Amino acid sequence: MTTRRPLIVGAVASVTAIAAAVGVALWSPWSEDVVAATALELDGDIRTHDPALVVGDDGEDWYVYSTGDIQKGFGSPQIRRSSDQGATWEYVGTAWDKPEDVAWVYDEVTGVQNFWAPELVEHEGTWYLYYAASTFGTNGSVIGLMTSPTLDVDSPDYGWTDQGMVWRSAPGETNYNAIDAGVLTDQDGTPWMSFGSFWGGIQLVELEWPGGLPAAGAEPVSVATRNNATNAIEAPYLAYRDGYYYLFVSRDSCCQGTDSTYSIAVGRSTEITGPYLDSLGNDMRYDGGDELLSTRGAMIGPGGQSYSDGYLAFHYYDADLGGDFQLAIRELGWTEDGWPVAWTAEELAG
């Protein structure tokens, strides 16, 4: 049996106020003073779902790839660019614009209309674009791959080349869903892909460079579940920082506007293969995980996250816009003992 982490940010703020009033020591879930994230003020075209963020080096553009819209580029992942360090975003097209560019997908997955939850990763000068093809309510799904020598859409070298299928799932054959890829190269140089949505939860499978495809004989293993019949967990994303691998996941229900109940949770491990534990030692394979971000004010159901160079990108449903989805980016705070914080100081104080 697991114990849910007793971290409710409103409670943390209340404890802070009470402690200050009566002059007692402040209890913190990390045994230290509370730290906070910084939310970027975004402008421009930020209507994105399942954002894959790439923070550019100094002087370079930032990019966000996101779930496609059937009305643009035949549902190909959408591309947005920022030339001012993530503040202002412009729509600059789709990863491909002809269905024949990924003709094999339509043969594999009946009824595909748009392509979901892209992932971007660079290896030795090549960019790898992972994407999912599926339909709602089924695990008849595939994860595909394209490569490009650059993300710069204005470069003459830019262009995505189909590399085919990475992984698939099928009803009655697999107890997982092959969508929502998140790829990280471990400290030994081995790439790994996390993926999954509902069914058997979050899986991890070994890849190999330079192909970016599964290693010979690789089989997925489970690294996170909700440990119940619904198993509402998806959108895994891996990151490494200061000796720990972090697994970010989205939990509960997305895609329902202001009725969405999405939230983001996290655990960590000293090994990329896990086990991933939360701050109380609960295993994410058995519903562990610290809540990192959830509904607050007009920000409904944050999730579909990615991480790049200290920044967490995610979508949420904006109550002030009738539940339309929007991009958000936050520079995470980090506690002294290495736990990420996604709430801002204003939210913690509220």
State the catalytic residues. 50, 234
- Under a CB-based contact definition with an 8 Å cutoff, are residues 77 and 129 in contact? yes
CA distance 218 to 206: 6
Two tokens at 303? 């999730």
CB 180 within 8 A of CB 149: no
7: left (phi over 0), alpha (psi -120 to 50) or beta: beta
The span from the CA of 217 to the CA of 234, in Å, is: 25
Cis bond upstream, residue 214 (ω within 30)? no
Strand order in the sheet with 62-66: 43-44, 88-94, 78-82, 62-66, 52-54
List, as one string, the DSSP characters of 38-63: EE---EE----SS-EEEPPPTTSPEE
Which string of b and e fits 297-335 if b means at least 16 CB within 10 Å?
A: eebbbbbbbbbbeebbbbbbbbeeeebebbbbbbbbbeb
Cα separation, 83 vs 323, whole angstroms: 28
Rounded distance, CA 138 to CA 32, Å? Answer: 44
**Cis-peptide into 51, omega within 30 deg:** no
Of the candidates 51, 101, 58, the one whose C-alpha atom is nearest the C-alpha of residue 76 is 101
The DSSP bridge pattern shows strands 88-94 and 43-44 to be: parallel
CA distance 274 to 343: 26
Sheet holding 263-269, edge to edge: 233-241, 244-251, 263-269, 290-293
